[in-house]
Structure 1
Amino acid sequence: MSNLFIFSNDLRLDDNAALYQSSLSKKGLTTAFIFNPKKWEDHNDSPLKIKFQLNHLKEIRDELIKKNINFKIIYANGIEDEPEKILELTKKLGITSVFINKDYGFNERKKDDSLKLLLDKKNIKFNLFDSSILNPELIKTGSGNYFKVFTPYSKVFRSLLTSKDLDIVPEPLLQDSNVSENDLIPEYELEDNYFLKSIEDYKVGTDKVNKIFENFLHEKVKDYKNLRDFPYLDSTSKLSPYLTSGMISAKNCLKELLQKFEDTPGTGQYSWMNEILWREFYKYIIFHFPKVSKGKSFSEKYDEMIWRDDEHDFKRWCEGKTGIPIIDAAMTQLNQTGWMHNRLRMVVAMFLSKNLLIDWRLGEAYFMKRLIDGDHASNNGGWQWSASTGVDAAPYFRIFNPITQSEKFDKDGQFIKKFLPNLEMIPEKLIHNPSKELRLENNYPDMIVDLKESRKRALDAFSSI
């Protein structure tokens, strides 16, 4: 008897239900990771994110080998190819049971269904485990429907948390013996010079990842509510890359948070827990309303929206050359580091979808190609929120003024000057919207669009739907 566990967005040993269950017999366990560049390209996964995952897997592989758990690489060509390649490995190793944690994406669920059919034909048992904090099928409205608004969803979620102990699954058990040879992690070269530099900033390995969380929990979370919106401060958890790839358990994070603090509204810990719940909410949405995984607006009427087809303006937005310092600094942060402060994600998304009236789906795809924490559910949910097309979205008439946002959250221009060093000599009061003379002196472009006029254009377009 031999078991196979397949990693996905669950790259950890602790609180990994499928991995733990696959280890219980102690009679031989092989783990595998699917190396699938075509799928990554099809899903717009950032090369930085993939390199980050592979670096972490090197550490995980070594931890597994110490437990007599084998590690294999499965090579596949697109997500539809994965079931057959998994089946090939089961034949080669004499696998009798396959273990996987459920992924809630539309294509991933189709893949799991196809895999189950193949395994059933070969009398190989397929074991699928829930990877969410709370099973999304259990969270319903009083009338038995699924939530479409975050606040009531979060209230039910919190009530279930207080009445249900968050059980954390142990690490997999030591196996009696090895059952096969171990594969090495394939080489994966980064071609982007910025990514080559920034990958060094992201620590990997179980102990280092846990220390990042512990530091946030003990040093930063109390001030999170008051400081989280200021991009020049190091006040956020920086855990999003690790949560996205499952290098740390969101359930375990909440358990430790609730053990240390009361879940009291208005506190830093309450606000941070809300961010975790937003991640769960967006996964809940793609599970129950899969149309959002197919390029559709949650609010169907906006599928009729006529967006501007302007490649030049979109390119300037992507490159951080809009002539609006806070927008350009934020996009430069994204392009250089693979990460962007959450407040700024909303600002740049709203600017693209409303002031420039460019299809939010283009911005969504560009973010995924650059973000080290690119998560389909959260990214789609965030973009549709900003574009007012999504579930529980901002009303269409809510349009952030990027200059006002800059003055409020980067008052002295510290963030702007960090990522736009050509503007560092501009006085603080003038940096948010430099004069024409200052723009010429500092080689900075004119504003891509008039904010007042573009706001009116957006209001007219959205109100006509």
Structure 2
Amino acid sequence: MQLVWLRNDLRLDDNPALYFACQQAIDNKDSVLVVYIASPKQWRAHNESPRKLGLIQETLRCLQSTLAGLGIPLELLETDSFIDIPRVLSTYCLKHEISKLHFNREIPLNEQRRDKAVQAEISAIDVAVKCYADDRIVHRNLLSKQGAVYRVFTPWYKSWVQELFNALPKVLPSPEAVSSPVTTTKEISLSGAEVFREDIWLSNEVDVLALLERFCKRKAAGYEASRDYPAIAGTSVISPYLAIGSLSARRCFHQLVFSCAEQGVHIGEAIGHIWTRELAWRDFYRYLMLNYEHISRGENFKTEPLARAWRVDTEAQDAWKKGQTGFPIIDAAMRQLLQTGWMHNRLRMLVASFFCKLLCLDWREGERFFMEQLLDGDFASNNGGWQWSSSTGCDASPWFRIFNPTTQSEKFDKDGEFIKRFVPELAALDAKSIHCPSPEQRLALDYPDPIVDYKEARQQALDFFKV
């Protein structure tokens, strides 16, 4: 009996653990069981969003039904935290006479320690364990010519691109049926899961793959020109599916290459595509987390201390969380997060810069709040983005680079369309006033005054960060 342990890989397509377990079962006339282990206490410790858990729950339900059609039962197991998982899996393996356990590797420190403990426990009962590289496009641990781990994106990226030119990563098909269909077990229900926006987000893998294909065929060509404008549907919006693994990063890259080829675009252009570069950033943040353990412990990537301690201002922090800062583009972005569980990437940079630079608040507080709200909460990418914005991370934004929310708003939401969508009290304002309403307009529309003066806050930030 082959056992597959699913984690952040909730899919059939390009799933190494599931694919090879099924292949071995077919070759050996064996059976396959699949488990997913809920760890509510651990999820709370990791600040996992209830909406993300809702998406995971619905994705698991769809996956359970699809696997049942292939003759593969999917069962939910539950334990409080990672520390109990080795025992739970060991007991399950003995009960079902499992001969081999298959799972895909995860990169954060707690997950690595959990997996090592599982391997030791399962091997002790004479069950074979097979781990697979899965969560990156390029899995080789790239090093500089001097044999050092990269600390800056650009030279790492050049090496990453060269790997793709040398050989494209393989993608695996969905597994074949291992036996006749089985009856689905009890419906999956996850503790702490909340209803997510089903009108916006997808839980069926077939629909997710179709969304990816549409983006690559119809929008990828214009992605560079439109990706910074939040009022335009110019991005892929696939980050939630990458975060829970209902879509693989390798499949994303291959779909882009395939779509480019259909349109007569050379493979070299697909590798150099700006969207491929965004996928590279995802790989890079995982590469850093794999090589620099202290990142997983919530520490600054840069080990040298800041000149001063972060400010503590609960009133300003609460205004930021609620989208009541008095800066329309910041408030629109935060309300988008609160209403949908997602935020446009340009806006993530703006609100993080506002939090860390203009308010001089600890990036860890912002990182935590994002994880608690995001449908696409991804530890490595979220951590990397916040450390970039706070100038504490690898290859981070320079400490003196401080976004002006008003000029950014005027540039990337010129007519205020995005602001009107999420800050409706300002919808009647003209395209100029909406970016920075007058005191009289704020009073009339019941919209708050700015919680900081930009020029004063910018100078305070420069003094704060300057060593």
> How would you bin the TM-score normalised by the shorter chain?
over 0.9
**SS in structure 2 of the partner of residue 428 of structure 1:** coil
Aligned length: 458
The Cα shift of 1:200 comes to 3.5
Tell me, yes or no, if the aligned pair for 1:216 and 1:237 is still in contact at 8 Å: yes
Equivalent residue number for residue 241 of structure 2: 242
Partner of 2:327: 324
Match of 1:310 in 2: 313
- Answer with 164-173 or 220-229: which moved more: 164-173
Assess, with a 3 A threshold, how the Cα gap between structure 1 residues 412 and 302 changes in structure 2: closer, same or farther: farther
Query: 1:168-207 counterparts in 2 under 5 A?
Result: 168-176=171-179, 182-186=185-189, 196=195, 198-207=197-206
Residue identity matched to 1:235: G
Return 5+ residue gaps in structure 1 as ranges.
Answer: none
Match of 1:436 among 419, 434, 439: 439
- The answer to whether structure 1 residue 410 and structure 2 residue 409 are counterparts is no
Structure 2 match to 1:153: 156
SS at match of 1:100: strand
1:279 equivalent among 262, 278, 282: 282
Report the counterpart of residue 210 of structure 1 in structure 2: 209
Please tell me whether the aligned partners of residues 133 and 251 of structure 1 are also in contact (alpha carbons under 8 angstroms).
Answer: yes
Which deviates the most, 128-137 or 438-447?
128-137
2:228 maps to 229
Cα distance in 1 between the residues matched to 2:169 and 2:251: 8
- Aligned 8 A contact 1:349 1:383 in 2: yes
Which AA in structure 2 matches 1:290? E
TM-score normalised by L of structure 1: 0.95
Gaps of 5+ in 2: 261-265
> Which residue of 408, 422, 431 corresponds with 2:425?
422
Give the C-alpha shift of residue 264 in structure 1.
5.7
Structure-1 separation of matches of 2:136 and 2:193: 33
Q: Pick from 385, 393, 396: which aligns with 2:396?
A: 393
CA 1:428/1:172 → structure 2, altered by over 3 Å: closer, same or farther?
A: same
Counterpart residue number, 2:10? 11
AA aligned to 2:9 is: D
Inter-partner Cα distance in structure 2 for 1:374 and 1:276: 16
| Contact 1:226–1:268, Cα closer than 8 Å, also in 2 | no
CA distance in 2, matches of 1:325, 1:389: 27
Deviation at 1:39, TM superposition (A): 1.4
Q: Aligned partners of 2:87 and 2:306: how far apart in 1?
A: 36
Deviation at 1:182, TM superposition (A): 3.3
Equivalent in the alignment of 2:105: 102
* 1:63 alignment partner, one of 52, 63, 66: 66
Contact 1:257 1:269 in 2 (8 A): no
Give the match for residue 454 of structure 1. 457
Aligned-residue offset at 1:399: 0.5
The within-5 A match list for 1:50-129 is 50-129=53-132
Deviation at 1:263, TM superposition (A): 5.2
Aligned-residue sequence identity (percent) comes to 38
Measured after TM superposition, the shift of residue 198 of structure 1 is: 2.2
Q: Which amino acid aligns with 1:425?
A: A
8 Å CA contact retained: 2:161, 2:271: no
Closer/same/farther in 2, CA of residues 23 and 447 from structure 1, 3 Å limit: same
Kindly state the Cα deviation for residue 94 of structure 1 after the two structures are TM-superposed: 1.1
**Bigger shift: residues 443-452 or 130-139:** 130-139
Separation in 2, partners of 1:348, 1:133: 27
Deviation of the 1:199 alpha carbon: 3.8
Please name the residue that 2:263 is paired with.
none
Compared with structure 1, are the counterparts of its residues 97 and 190 closer, same or farther at alpha carbon in structure 2 (3 Å cutoff)? closer
Coordinate RMSD, CA, aligned:
1.9
Query: Is residue 221–residue 268 contact of structure 1 (8 Å, CA) maintained in 2?
Result: no
Whole-Å separation in 2 of the counterparts to 1:213 and 1:325: 32
- Counterpart of 2:396 in structure 1: which amino acid? A
Matched, 1:358 2:361: yes
Which residue among 297, 302, 314 is the counterpart of 2:300?
Answer: 297
CA distance in 1 between partners of 2:303 and 2:322 (Å): 31
